[in-house]
Structure 1
Amino acid sequence: MSHSPCGGQALLLASFGVLVTAISGHAQISLPPAGESGIVEKSLRQSQPEFRPPLEKPPEIVIEDSRSVEDPGAGPTFVVKRIKLEGNTLFSDEDLAPFIDMGDSLKVTLGILNLMANEITHHYVQAGYILTRTFIPAQRIENGVVKILVVEGTLGDIEVFDNERISTEAILDRMQPVRDEKILREQTLTRVLLQMNDALGFEVKTVLKPGSRVGTTDMALKVKETRPYAISLDADNFGSRFTGKLRMGVTAKVGNIFALGDRFSMRAVKSNEDQLFLNLSFDYPINNYGTRVGLSFIYSDFILGDSLAPLLAGGDSALYTLNVTHPFYRSRSAEFYLTLGGEYREFRNSDLFGPTSDDQLADVFLTAGGLFTDAFQARTYYALRLQQGFTEGDLSDPLNSRNLGSGEVLIASLSIKRYQKAFIGKSYFIIRGNFQWANDRVLSADQFAIGGFGSVRGYPLAEFAQDNGLAVSLEYVVPFPFKVALTDNPKMKTLDQLVSFFGFIDHARVYAIDPQPGEVNREITGVGFGIRVNIPPWSPAIPAFSLTTSIGFPEFVKTEPSDRSDHTFYLGGVISY
């Protein structure tokens, strides 16, 4: 909700002025960015409510060991001049020499030799070879030479337990990368388990135990199945005054329909005015190494209201996307993937006089993204996208959405989000950055829009848009300072885990390539504060609830908001089941 000094009279006068302008010269009408179908669709996705993603839950890997602990000083002593290693192929004798250095000779016990063997095992485990075991085999010691046997560990049998909906064959197929390794690495096992646990309603725990064959380790996969679907309802006032500030949305996901890990998603949003948004997508694993193919369809339409209502203007858009994604690296703390895809996008606008624009864009794109953690106790998410268009190259087309704009443009965009511990209690920073560069003038759908929730709070949604731009944000989050239990239920979190306060500063700029009359580079800044409440489900029958409320103030020195408001109040909530 915004406060405007003009009120209803200003809206009436503005509407009358727009209508007079439309009648006197249709070709001269220039809609604000929030009135263009391409920007409407993009800004709606940009302004969706968001919450801090949970940390990656590490897969549970239990290693059962039948060996017993021995006292290093127990047993008789004997002189050892040299230790001979057998069975080591991954590390040379020189690599392992520091763990078995005897000097000229050394008086030892069997317990001391076992400690040396354990050090070698630890070295292998640190390198990720968790199945390796090192033993002192039964032997006759001759000339002071003792043999130590390294069993580098191969995988034996794999058994699956407690699965009902997902077949044993499907689960074993997903373990193929583990079977392919001659000597199993923890990194490979962790990656495969993380990918399997991404499936809705599916979680697997791994138990490794000595195999039935010498030198092997058997694996037991213990499956926990829950409901393979998720539903959430959300509402907020993050929308545009031209298409409806109040928005209600529903998101539904269903998994494991045709194969373990596939996912169908649907999101629909309706504003309190005439705006509708629908997104359907399907994601399918095409091999056992994490490669996925995705299909997506987005449709949106709207009729402009507020001061633009007399124009009877509106628009619609349809986006069709096909992509392939492959994870090249994944661990508990890092991830890297590449996505290659193509899009076909249609954007149409019209008013009371008829069609005003019709863009039909085709492009291919490559995205490199992922996440990483670092020594500063921070977690960073990133995505770099390169997009090349192939259509709408006729600059003289009267139905182009933007003067001298083209669809045959190369666009590079980068998004970064970093959660940085502040080292003051449990507080932390959220640092965001979004950047776009284009090599030529773009059409409306590819402009970089700024303003509103998800960009610069305190300004209207999609206040300005140009070819190139940047938007950065710094947010400081402080959890509730006291640990207060709300109920006697031990599963219910304390107040400091549920409530947090935050303050923010947002800044953004947009730049036009070859500026045309009326096009100006813009720079806006907003500041504000707010509160978030996140209540997780404490039982399967109870949904999770999230609420965020904040107030944003525009910085007037450079640019005054188009609605002349001195602040904007934001309220949004999500119920997830």
Structure 2
Amino acid sequence: MGPDRRWLRRSGAGAGLLLATLACMLVPPATAQPSRPERALRADGHVYFIGELVPEYALPHAGLPSLEELQEFQFELGRTVDGYVAPREGVQTTRFRLSHLTYAPTQRIYASGLRHINEQIVHWLNGHGLRGVRVRPHPDDIEPGSNRDLRGRDQTALRLLITLGSQGPQAQWKIIAASADGPVYMIDQIIPQYAEHHRDHPHLAELERAEFELGRTADGYVAPRPGVRSIHFQLRQLAAAPAQRIYASGLRSLNEQIVAWLNARGLAGVFVRPHEEDIDPETNDDLRPPSRPALRILIWTGRVQEMRTFASGERVPEDERVDHPVHERIKDRSPIKPGAVRGMDLVQGQVLDAYVARLNRHPGRRVDVALSPGRDAGGVNLDYLISENKPWSVHAGWNNAGTDQTTDSRQRFGFTHTQLTGRDDILRLDYLTGNFDEVNAFVGSYEAPFPGSERLRWRVHGATHEFDSSVLGFPGRHYKGDQWGFGAELMANVFQRGELFIDLVAGLRWQDIEVDNPFAFDKAKDNFLLPRVGLRLEQRSATSSLFADLMFEGNSESLSGNDPDDPSKQGGLGRLDPDGDWVVMRWDTSFSSYLEPLLDPAAWADPTTPESSTLAHEIALLFRGQYAFDRRLIPQEERIAGGFYSVRGYPQATAAGDSVFIGSLEYRFHVPQIFGIQREPTQLPVIGEFRYARPRVYGQPDWDFILRAFVDGARVVQSDRASFEENQTLLSVGFGAEVRLWRNVFGRFDLGVALRDALDVDAGDTEAHFSVTTVY
């Protein structure tokens, strides 16, 4: 057993390393050297990283041929530049012993090579008088049928399971322990002990009541394995029974189960072994006197002895990566600290993961954790690995999401700073215009955490803009206006489970609206005080994202001082007979996920198969809108449908209503993900290094080319509908493409086809949507 090291990964040496490492131990090849290097074929199947082949009998017996002899039997495999395969014509062959693999680097062995090894083991056992022999990889290591690798990423040993036919004498053999089970110990009680006391340790009484599993053979207890009957027991039950024979493999399995039990209770960096005064940790000799068959089990739980931050990305200079002052807040707020500060040094995995997930909510930042052994037994070094983009950016964009009555073109310019004062505070400023003439708007916001709290944030915002009736979904009424407002919000994280967050949001905004309507009074103007409250849900991972926002907002006629019957006030803002008191429920929900991890998670998670570990296919769903509870709203509070960002295939703001329901289903195909692995970047003129494909499994290229197909729809409903108002249904289908270069240039084209008639739109009409954005 060893400490929990989540930074460990399987190391895969190339086939070429075997030539240098095993040159001194290999028998000369049985066939001539090929004239050119041979490659593995598709028919060779999956490739596996193997550092040791461990044969074992499903039903051990003293009369069976020795597995030690089998380890020294010579086998033959074909050697290609990609790895080892079954021998075939034109491929150089290599002879070796199973025991050689233990002392060599990890090798790439294909499924055909494993099958050939199994066949040679069968022939070897047949030569020892056994019949009905079957050899296959252990089903816990390689899944039968699919051949998927089930081993952990840091596990390179592969077990080969040997079973015998039922018609032979095996049916009457008794199951006994094998030599691989190690020495046997007489034990009448197992006493777990913490190496050091900590107030946050789970009680040992709970551990003694936990259920564990061992395999029972005719001569003692061993680690559970196929063909051996398992028994389940509690540690406290051993004290009430006679002394038992427990083999070293059984003790190792018990230690692993204790580690898993503590991991499940949030502890990381756990190390478990027999007390060194009871069993020698080097020789496994039993040091207990015959009069004391009780065995003490020592438990070390990881405690942070040192904490550091390691920076990467554009925010911190390369020569100042370690413990940079801008990351002191992350160390100060860490729930786990060195030096037993208020007992906070115990490595609790769930607490640490939750803290990292909260840090990763901040835009432009990615934090990971690495644990490594400390200077003392049970000590752990805790490192925060912080990757950050440049905190500020400016952006400029163009799209054709305008209206015929104003301008088709829209431009947007903005500035964002995600660390304005270095305390996770965010400033956003945007200017939107239609050719700097018809439509102009300024939007700004600033948000920051409350001092001493990472779960409570506040935000202030303001906006001013000009509008035309066509922008509000009333293209035939020909009025203009302007409005300005400001507001404030409190956002409290009230629930977290891993990367899933639910926030409670409460706020208040002031809105001043003025309309110039030539068909009514010259001008109408009114103010609104709009409180809001709601919930916000967010969950993001490397392969999916979920966002949901549910808000209730309303106006009180008496509180705001409105008069819906006065045409110079609320009654003249662009709609007949609006309600003075109203509440509207608004929601915005989106979900997207790559399909590979959903359809075949095991194959996607296997890094040895790059062709199945892609993120090429993505599905996205969207549902948003508002419900006005049968209240008539002023035009500025209604919702529009139609256009680039709602129902493609219809012009911008085709319809507007009090209650609006908008949905979209979209499939996206990320083309560069199917290009394989590009280890070295391509050199392009002017640009320099450019990766057109993934640099590694799960990596991202320097660009993306997305093909999409979509279905959009909306239902627009008027409350207390007037004779000239209509409820409308919009429905469209279409396709599109998008190009992304690094994180700086984005171009998008969507073509939608309307499937239902609407105002000035016939079924079959098409609408093309374009946008271009640059970010620096």
Under a length normalisation based on structure 2, what TM-score does the superposition of the two structures give? 0.58
Which whole-Å CA distance do the structure 2 matches of 1:193 and 1:354 have between them?
58
Are the aligned partners of 2:212 and 2:257 in contact in 1 as well (CA < 8 Å)?
no
Q: 2:749 aligns with which of 537, 549, 567?
A: 549
Change (3 A) 1:303 1:523: closer
Deviations 1:329-373 (A, max 9, x none): 456653322222111122221145865432422122223222348
Query: Unaligned 5+ residue runs, structure 1?
Result: 1-59, 538-543
Which whole-Å CA distance do the structure 2 matches of 1:90 and 1:133 have between them?
17
Which whole-Å CA distance do the structure 2 matches of 1:372 and 1:228 have between them?
23
SS of the aligned residue for 2:212 comes to helix
Residue number in structure 2 paired with 1:477? 668
Residue number in structure 1 paired with 2:160? none
Residue number in structure 2 paired with 1:174? 333
Residue number in structure 1 paired with 2:458? 293
Instruction: Tell which deviates more after alignment, 119-128 or 217-226.
Output: 217-226
Residue number in structure 2 paired with 1:35? none
Deviations 1:21-43 (A, max 9, x none): xxxxxxxxxxxxxxxxxxxxxxx
Deviations 1:473-521 (A, max 9, x none): 2222233396388972575233997222222222111212222232221
Change (3 A) 1:445 1:304: closer
Which aligned pairs between 1:303-382 and structure 2 lie closer than 5 A?
A: 313-330=479-496, 333-351=499-517, 355-372=522-539, 379-382=545-548
Residue number in structure 2 paired with 1:277? 441
Deviations 1:130-184 (A, max 9, x none): 2433332234446422122334444444344535764454332332477778554
Does structure 1 residue 529 correspond to structure 2 residue 735? Answer: yes
Give the deviation of 1:453 after TM superposition: 1.5
Which aligned pairs between 1:71-470 and structure 2 lie closer than 5 A?
A: 73=180, 76-87=183-194, 89=202, 92-93=206-207, 96-99=210-213, 101=233, 105-110=243-248, 112-140=250-278, 141=288, 143-160=292-309, 162=321, 166-167=325-326, 169-176=328-335, 182=344, 183-199=346-362, 203-211=366-374, 216-223=379-386, 226-272=389-435, 273-286=437-450, 287-302=452-467, 313-330=479-496, 333-351=499-517, 355-372=522-539, 379-390=545-556, 391=560, 393-398=562-567, 399-400=569-570, 401=573, 402-406=575-579, 408-421=581-594, 426-439=616-629, 440-470=631-661
Which whole-Å CA distance do the structure 1 matches of 2:510 and 2:554 have between them?
12
Instruction: Figure out how many residues of one structure are paired with residues of the other and give that number.
Output: 504
Which whole-Å CA distance do the structure 2 matches of 1:576 and 1:94 have between them?
59
Give the deviation of 1:451 after TM superposition: 1.4
Give the deviation of 1:259 after TM superposition: 3.4
Residue number in structure 2 paired with 1:38? none
Which whole-Å CA distance do the structure 1 matches of 2:462 and 2:772 have between them?
25
Give the deviation of 1:233 after TM superposition: 1.8
Letter in 2 for 1:436: Q
Which whole-Å CA distance do the structure 2 matches of 1:414 and 1:202 have between them?
27
Change (3 A) 1:487 1:98: closer
Change (3 A) 1:366 1:105: farther
Are the aligned partners of 1:380 and 1:419 in contact in 2 as well (CA < 8 Å)?
yes
Identity of aligned residues (%): 17
Residue number in structure 1 paired with 2:224? none
Letter in 2 for 1:175: S
Which whole-Å CA distance do the structure 2 matches of 1:416 and 1:132 have between them?
41
SS of the aligned residue for 2:528 comes to strand
Are the aligned partners of 2:527 and 2:562 in contact in 1 as well (CA < 8 Å)?
no
Which whole-Å CA distance do the structure 1 matches of 2:718 and 2:582 have between them?
14
Residue number in structure 2 paired with 1:508? 714
Give the deviation of 1:226 after TM superposition: 5.0
Letter in 2 for 1:146: L
Are the aligned partners of 2:193 and 2:298 in contact in 1 as well (CA < 8 Å)?
yes
Higher relative contact order (CA 8 A, sep 6+): 1
Change (3 A) 1:473 1:310: closer
Which whole-Å CA distance do the structure 2 matches of 1:446 and 1:304 have between them?
13
Residue number in structure 2 paired with 1:49? none
Are the aligned partners of 1:319 and 1:345 in contact in 2 as well (CA < 8 Å)?
yes
Are the aligned partners of 1:163 and 1:223 in contact in 2 as well (CA < 8 Å)?
no
Residue number in structure 1 paired with 2:18? none
Which whole-Å CA distance do the structure 1 matches of 2:274 and 2:753 have between them?
72
Are the aligned partners of 1:460 and 1:561 in contact in 2 as well (CA < 8 Å)?
no
Which whole-Å CA distance do the structure 2 matches of 1:434 and 1:301 have between them?
25
Letter in 2 for 1:234: G
Which whole-Å CA distance do the structure 2 matches of 1:90 and 1:445 have between them?
61
Q: Which has the larger radius of gyration?
A: 2
Deviations 1:430-485 (A, max 9, x none): 22111321232222222122111211122222222221121112222233396388
Which whole-Å CA distance do the structure 2 matches of 1:200 and 1:471 have between them?
27
Query: Unaligned 5+ residue runs, structure 2?
Result: 10-155, 157-177, 195-200, 215-232, 279-287, 311-320, 600-611, 684-688, 695-700
SS of the aligned residue for 1:192 comes to helix
Give the deviation of 1:397 after TM superposition: 2.5
Please report the RMSD computed on the Cα atoms of aligned residues, expressed in angstroms: 3.9
Which aligned pairs between 1:26-105 and structure 2 lie closer than 5 A?
A: 62=7, 73=180, 76-87=183-194, 89=202, 92-93=206-207, 96-99=210-213, 101=233, 105=243
Letter in 2 for 1:530: G
Give the deviation of 1:562 after TM superposition: 5.9
SS of the aligned residue for 1:188 comes to helix
Letter in 1 for 2:480: G
Instruction: Tell which deviates more after alignment, 94-103 or 513-522.
Output: 94-103
Deviations 1:299-345 (A, max 9, x none): 21146799x99998421122312112123445665332222211112
Under a length normalisation based on structure 1, what TM-score does the superposition of the two structures give? 0.76
Are the aligned partners of 1:177 and 1:288 in contact in 2 as well (CA < 8 Å)?
no
Letter in 2 for 1:325: M
Are the aligned partners of 1:243 and 1:302 in contact in 2 as well (CA < 8 Å)?
no
Letter in 2 for 1:280: G
Give the deviation of 1:202 after TM superposition: 5.2
Letter in 2 for 1:174: R
Give the deviation of 1:531 after TM superposition: 1.2
